A and B are shown apart, each in its own frame.
Chain A
């Protein structure tokens, strides 16, 4: 294919990705090395605010930003090197905690505790999603033809439902005197508060993610199972392979590309875990890397946002994802060189 034709075909797609993804990304990258501050004045200000019947007036020193002739806030932007990264990573405190083996102190630093949870969450859900997805696919594939349709339909529900709604629907079952908490209390005969400690919340979040994503893995594995070579299976039987051997030596190798595909998608999606933190309001106990970025960007009542630290933590999240993806990317490179043609 000539370059010109190729460019015409991919042009619109690449243009969109550059405008709406690459351009913001570059500005985030640049922003992570910069600090933009308003020029502030200290002024004395008298403020009168209402009580129920009469006003109270107080005079205080407040800082107000200076405005230019167009009414815009005057700001200064400086290159600050790694300062934003240092503020996010807090390397001295982290190093002190590591060298004295003080796990609790390390977890007091937001970034490291977010990294701990994000990695744990990603690596624990990965095998679970693949395992559960594969198990459902095998079970459905073995089921009678007549019930396959309805079962596939029900199985897909957790995947298609809006994530926010899915998380809330599970949250309502457990929060306060939610019916499942009450049932558990009844069964174990003790008082249970699912949202009172970190490990139960983490458990619910893990459950939600597996519940939500396993159907995706299932439907892809199921599609893959339809193309398993029957001849190979039969010759395996003639060779005396039992069920387990057939699964291990015929079916799983056949599904291997799909397993890698799922792993790839799952790593990317789970590493930026965010909805669970919001849906289960877990930020008192556990936070994730994307939530940390989001929190820096969320303006407080006074309109302050931490753009510099947000950019730095976003870049750090990206670096993490790329590191996780390198083995998979190398495989893609080999495939590419080994030849689509």
Chain B
């Protein structure tokens, strides 16, 4: 039995190596790429490898290394995977090249929507969008006669009903792990309440009505959540969903397909997705839009850049999307949105639309300050105003140190 599986594995890898023929050309320039490591990147980098001569590196901690590796001369990697957050340091250092020529030569399959333009120049090519959407247990909602909530107040009402019915351990889940996740949730809520992070003179402005509203709403949510929410990241919430322990969560769209994974999930087919709830009725959903895509290093030869771009395009074609349709909300031609992608699409095309996550140095500093200082509010050692004042103080120090604030 064991021997058979070994042979099978061997046969599979043989198939994988003959699949190289799927690439439109044979790559002869040695290339390396550095990207994040989630499902969509697995699919894309596997498609790159069909062209040969490329060594992809998938690393979720890539942001520690990427800026410095691209700044080396010659750059240690030719292709980089970025999101609208992590592209900032590369833009700042000028270590990625404009792609207009390459798009013209090799990018016939790209739609204009995919081209990330800075001052008119194409600096990156997006492959997918990501955002939060509201996932909910359709069976529970039907049993209790609940409507799908569209605002956070309605979410709380629905949570109260589910709590009273006692059908799950906790009605709500949320990615409120201290640090990056908690800050991201606050940013969504803060923008939903119409907040602006900075004043015109660059001083922070989170200790405002919108900030207090956002924190108050988040605190109200925690009444319906697992008390360990300060360690619950996306994987943990996804697991709670799969094991049937929560009934609703505003979770990343890229997590949707896991609900229907029969090997892990006990709620296959029972989870549906709707647009992310609004903080204020009539406003944009309280979330931000993200994109993930590729960039090409500046510190390499033009030949390498051309080869790198051609290989990159091979990964973003409709063959790859067909094979990995549910791995992401693809922007690539041929994508067929599934049942669980509907929430994200409703979010992204809502009117008014939620803003894209701003890619600036200041936002990076603000994100860190929020992630470090807000937990004090949730552990009860500071009031909302105190915590937000601490965020402003931390931001001011960091911004002065980074030189973006006098």
Contact = CB atoms under 8 A, between A and B. Distances in A.
Indicate yes or no for A touching B, C-beta below 8 A.
yes
Interface of A: 35, 37-40, 45-58, 60, 62-65, 67, 71-73, 87, 104, 107-108, 110, 175-177, 193-198, 281, 283-285, 295, 298-304, 306, 308-309
B334 interface: no
Contacts of A107: 381
User: What class of interface size applies to chain B in its complex with A?
Assistant: 35 or more
Contacts of B120: 46
A54 B403 CA distance: 35
B341 to A, nearest CB: 9
B289 A49 contact: yes
Given A50-B331, A175-B228, 9 more contacts: A45-B119, A48-B115, A50-B291, A54-B113, A58-B356, A196-B227, A284-B230, A285-B379, A300-B367
Contacts, number: 178
B227 to A, nearest CB: 4
A299 B365 CA distance: 9
A1 to B, nearest CB: 45
A56 B364 contact: no
Interface stretch (B37-45, B82-90, B99-107, B158-166): B82-90
Interface string B366-395: 011000100110110110001000100000
Interface of B: 63-64, 67, 71, 83-86, 88-89, 91-95, 112-120, 126, 129, 177-179, 182, 226-231, 236, 240, 245, 289, 291, 298-299, 329, 331, 344-345, 348-349, 353, 356, 358-365, 367-368, 372, 375-376, 378-379, 381-382, 386, 390, 397-398, 401-404
A303 B64 CA distance: 8
Given A45-B118, A53-B349, A283-B179, A303 B404 contact: no
A309 B236 CA distance: 33
Contact of B353 (A47, A51, A303): A51
A284 B91 contact: no
A42 B6 CA distance: 60
B227 A50 contact: no
Contacts of A60: 358, 360
Contacts of B118: 45-48
Contacts of A298: 64
Contact of A50 (B67, B113, B361, B397): B113
A49 B293 CA distance: 11
Given A284-B379, A304-B365, A51 B349 contact: yes
